[in-house]
Structure 1
């Protein structure tokens, strides 16, 4: 167990380094693109990404996570070989179908002919992901996040520099399209060189079916996740057009997307970790609750920053064409703290070998929570949809709590106790900052200092020693 803990800590460290570096670099790239391009350009790409996200899930069919989850004693090279060859043929077929049939359908749905040229370029990654699927699984199964970080970070940096160059040379929306697609092309030779695995001309239907027995529910669940996560973009793009969708995508980027990218640095480590210790429920419960605490400590102040300072941030970094995103940012800034209460609880069920439960929960929330909330919100514009997402997050909280209690004996009280410090810091900061923000003409840096002091003091009061010990361990980690 000590060796496993050491591997987990090393994985978390490298995952954190990758995410932090990528977020900073991504902000620099987006800062250039947002000032050069227009909301319509971002909205146009978001429209297309709604469907390419679904296409990527269909191309994967849950095979990657099924290979990660399968126990070592039951996993052989023939599984990898069979998945590799099937994946390439399947992804190529999907690309052809999308190119000839999906393109006009998507263009007609959004009444936006420009998606016809963009969609094929954004669909190319599905073929590359099929070629590198086994290589990525090999890295993730041994929790070698250092290698994964080096591959993905280097590809993003190169793609980002090319994208900035394109934007500054009047390539318009294509600079954003290539920023999304190009990293996959750059990663291809890196995975093939750095991961010591070679395909052979062997294939077995029987071994492929063994993977499909696991991947079926993972595929359906992932598809439900993507559909749920893109309902807002679908409604806004269809009803309100590319410009409003571009404005919303910026607000989403500063809140929910930022949250998911930060939490991903632990999620991507915890899923294979949970799978390896799935028989020890007490250990899974402890790590899950600790992960919620770390997420909240980091993200609650970020959302406070968005809540009180989104307008100055938009005015300072971007021009006036993006200023209307501020009200949406403030609404979505309240969504993240609610979501973090039971963040990725379904990930635990999947790693424990209960994919049916995960699928059922996502189907339940999509049909009876998210879809009605977004639909009703769409009658009141982009702010209405944002409020609908907040309402859906509150309802999903109680759904998730029910299943956490049933499956892991985690109660609402357990979570409240674990998140006591960030919750107190969050609400105390709002209570003190609101009158200062509304009625006192204090300089923005003074207000920012007050926010940091309030929240930081509360966290230090409850967890000062733990934070110092964690920093020491990270610094000493080899």
Structure 2
């Protein structure tokens, strides 16, 4: 047991008779979170389709810079200690008051500094128009910090149904605000105010759903261990935010806010796998993996299953996005945004790699290896900045996307896999076996869909036919692995079994093995 786990108060082990409760809780929480993410993603696509016709690429570029600053600063708001409440192997009741004090004090300081320094920061980015949105987002940051501990409590309890309801209400109110303000004030400020409304609504609903709320308090014996745990988390998250958002800063400085607007749209589209899975991992992966460690489960198998589930969802989204980038942008956002299409095609792969890195981040935190997480992010950032500068100067916006992929493949992912091998025993071989079937299925689906839709001219027709054909092919190739994403009562339905099992039956008749489990291979 590490020093950090010895110093922080641990929770009692789960009773043996409840061995299956963790799996049920994880699956239930994941389904609620996935439903929320998918519903909101489709909703945001529809809203953005309207807003893209009301604002200019320049206004979207200004908001991109403001939201980048918000992402950097938000990493430090609660000093990273709120993650300790989300770990199911630690005693939240003993830690709660002290963590609440850290979260509230850190938020007040950081949000105030963000508001005061908005002007100089915007000028440093050569976009003084971003100062207003940055100040507005400081309010959103304050709200986010205030609810950091309640949100971690919801995460710990796998109460993602609360998050689902909160997100739905927040989506309606925040986007009503956005659409109402977009025709009255600058588009970047309209986006910023909608973020304030959304954070506020989610916060209120989370707090009201909790039966236990922690008041600020102070237990000196926990301060050192919390800081040793939390500061690497905060710094690692900050670095991950730099890795995720430094391209906005570089593109904004090297080109223009108009080009940055095109780039932000492309990056948003390619973040669809992150949107669909990032929320699940933020809410479920930390308590699930820490629970598996607490219960003495096979961590190698746990990593294999988690990577496979992520790949089953992320790979088809990325493949379809890459294959149908042009009709997708034209149909959804309008022809004036087609400049973003080549960037979308390149960044589609990055979306899959990034979401896998996010999963490994959560596993590092759950294992108490927060310094490892920090070192991985620091190494990635050192490599990323010069690579992106060279990329944008030699290849424009597409060069930035290529730079992202190179750094992840050469630096970030190998570092993660080495760390995961040392921590769980699951390294490159386990990861490759986990992603092999989803990758093959996604490539086959995208290829067949492109062939079938080659003669179609209308973008909506291409998307509709390509989507249906691709889905059929993907389900056929991915096979029974997809059933593991559903609850048992749905996975046993004859129509789902028939839709996913027939390729395996054909393969068996041909003498081809389809067993892709972790334990059956060395």
TM-score by length of 2: 0.82
Offset at 1:458?
5.4
RMSD of aligned residue pairs (Cα, Å): 2.7
The change in CA–CA distance for 1:423 and 1:240 in structure 2 (over 3 A counts) is same
Q: 1:50 aligns to what?
A: 68
Which residue does 1:245 correspond to in 2?
260
- Counterpart check, 1:420 vs 2:439: no
- Corresponding residue of 1:310: 325
Residues 122 and 130 of structure 2 are in contact (CA less than 8 Å); yes or no, is this contact kept in structure 1?
Answer: yes
The answer to whether 1:99 aligns with 2:95 is no
2-side partners of 1:89 and 1:47: how far apart?
26
Deviation at 1:199, TM superposition (A): 5.0
Q: Which structure carries more relative contact order (alpha carbon 8 Å, separation 6+)?
A: 1
Taking the TM superposition and a 5 Å limit, the aligned residue runs for 1:37-436 are 37-69=55-87, 71-72=89-90, 74-77=91-94, 79-100=95-116, 102-169=117-184, 172-198=187-213, 200=215, 202-255=217-270, 257-267=271-281, 268-279=283-294, 283-339=298-354, 344-367=359-382, 369-380=383-394, 381-395=396-410, 396-429=412-445
Write the deviation string for residues 128-165 of structure 1: whole angstroms up to 9, x where unpaired.
Answer: 22322221122111111111221232112211122122
TM-superposed CA distance for 1:431, in Å, is 5.5
Instruction: Decide whether the 8 Å contact of 1:426 with 1:455 is kept in 2.
Output: no
Is 1:35 aligned to 2:53, yes or no? Answer: yes
Q: How far does the alpha carbon of each residue in 1:351-391 deviate from its partner, in whole angstroms, 9 at most, with x for none?
A: 11111211122212221x32232122121221211111121
Structure 1 spans left out of the alignment, 5+ residues:
none
The aligned residue for residue 503 of structure 2 is: none
Query: What SS does structure 1 have at the residue aligned with 2:128?
Result: coil
Deviation at 1:340, TM superposition (A): 5.7
Contact kept, 8 Å, 1:82 with 1:203, in 2: the verdict is yes
Counterparts in 2 of 1:209 and 1:21: CA distance versus 1, 3 Å: same
Change (3 A) 1:415 1:178: same
Structure-1-length-normalised TM-score: 0.89
The Cα shift of 1:266 comes to: 3.0
Structure number with higher helix proportion:
1
Deviation at 1:429, TM superposition (A): 4.6
Shift of 1:443: 5.1
Cα 1:202–1:36, aligned 2, differ >3 Å: closer, same or farther? same
Q: 1:346 to 1:202 in 2, by over 3 A?
A: closer
Shift of 1:212: 1.7
Q: 1:470 to 1:397 in 2, by over 3 A?
A: closer
Please say if residues 107 and 146 of structure 2, whose CA atoms lie closer than 8 Å, have aligned partners that are also in contact.
Answer: no
1:40 deviates by 0.9
For 1:32 and 1:47, how far apart are their aligned partners in 2? Answer: 22
Counterpart in 2 of 1:13? 31
Corresponding pairs, count: 469
Contact kept in structure 2, 1:22 and 1:156, CA below 8 Å: yes
- Give secondary structure in 2 for the equivalent of 1:76: helix
Partner of residue 504, structure 2: none
Structure 1 pair 469–185 and aligned structure 2 pair: CA distance change class (3 A): closer
Q: Distance in 2 between matches of 1:19 and 1:270?
A: 15
Alignment partner, residue 12 of structure 2 = none
Deviation at 1:254, TM superposition (A): 0.6
Q: Deviations for 1:62-103, whole angstroms, at most 9, x for unmatched residues? A: 02112223734x4435x3223323432332222332222x22
Deviation at 1:211, TM superposition (A): 2.0
Task: Tell me the CA shift for residue 300 of structure 1.
Answer: 2.0
For 1:451-478, what per-residue CA distance to the aligned partner results, in whole angstroms no more than 9, with x for missing partners? Answer: 75466435424524x535754626499x
Contact kept in structure 2, 1:221 and 1:362, CA below 8 Å: yes
